[in-house]
């Protein structure tokens, strides 16, 4: 089974289903333990799930998971016109792009989940890559979810990881 075979339902649709389940749980957590602790719990759970998802995707890569195979997976997040992306650089050491429209952010705001949209979606990005290709790091300084005009994704193979691979 390939990643494509397992992803007939787009990620945007999956995130909507997840959010519909998480929203009432979040509301109860806020009521019982407060907003900060509720967000910390949701954030931790989502980040852990993202790392595990990254590992699962990496296991499916026939030739190993790296920044190039990661770049090849981006169509999954873009499916259903979920993102408007402009790729800036795609090499064996970098994958840089900007997102100029994010239907994930639009959806979370429309569902009344704007205050945790960053936990449900944005926070996954840096954690997914940890599970998928630990030698790759994400730097992002802004997101549409937080009100910026675009999201700036800058993935790079880290020098530390290259040093770790030396004999």
Residue among 46, 55, 48 at smallest CA distance from 132: 55
Q: Is residue 1 part of a domain?
A: no
- Owning domain of residue 38: 11-165
Count of structural domains within the chain: 1
Structural domain contains residue 3: no
Could you list the pLDDT tens digit for every one of the 167 residues in the chain?
344 444 578 999 999 999 999 999 999 999 999 999 999 999 999 999 999 999 999 999 999 999 999 999 999 999 999 999 999 999 999 999 999 999 999 999 999 999 999 999 999 999 999 999 999 999 999 999 999 999 999 999 997 644 454 44
State pLDDT tens for residues 69-115: 999 999 999 999 999 999 999 999 999 999 999 999 999 999 999 99
In-domain check, residue 64: yes
> Is 20 buried (19+), middle (13-18) or exposed (0-12) by CB count in 10 A?
exposed
Q: Is residue 2 part of a domain?
A: no
CATH number reported for the structural domain that contains residue 24 in this entry:
3.30.1380
Q: Does residue 159 lie in a domain region?
A: yes
Q: What is the DSSP string of 64-124?
A: ---HHHHHHTTHHHHGGGTEEEEEEEESSSEEEEEEEEEHHHHHHHHTT-TTTHIIIIIHH
Report the distance separating Cα 125 and Cα 130, nearest Å: 9
Domain assignment present for residue 4? The answer is: no
């Amino acid at each position: 089974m390939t990643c494509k075979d397992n992803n007939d339902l787009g990620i945007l649709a999956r995130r909507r289903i997840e959010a519909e389940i998480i929203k009432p749980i979040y509301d109860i957590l806020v009521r019982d333990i407060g907003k900060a602790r509720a967000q910390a719990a949701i954030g931790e759970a989502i980040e852990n799930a993202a790392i595990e998802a990254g590992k699962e995707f990496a296991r499916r890569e026939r030739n190993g998971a790296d920044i190039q195979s990661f770049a090849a997976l981006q169509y999954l997040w873009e499916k259903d016109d979920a993102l408007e992306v402009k790729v800036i650089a795609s090499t064996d050491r970098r994958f840089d792009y900007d997102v100029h429209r994010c239907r994930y952010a639009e959806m979370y705001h429309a569902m009344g989940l704007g205050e945790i949209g960053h936990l449900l979606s944005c926070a996954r990005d840096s954690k997914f890559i940890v599970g998928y290709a630990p030698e790759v790091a994400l730097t992002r300084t802004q997101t549409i979810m937080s009100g910026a005009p675009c999201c700036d994704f800058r993935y790079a193979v880290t020098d530390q990881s290259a040093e770790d691979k030396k004999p």
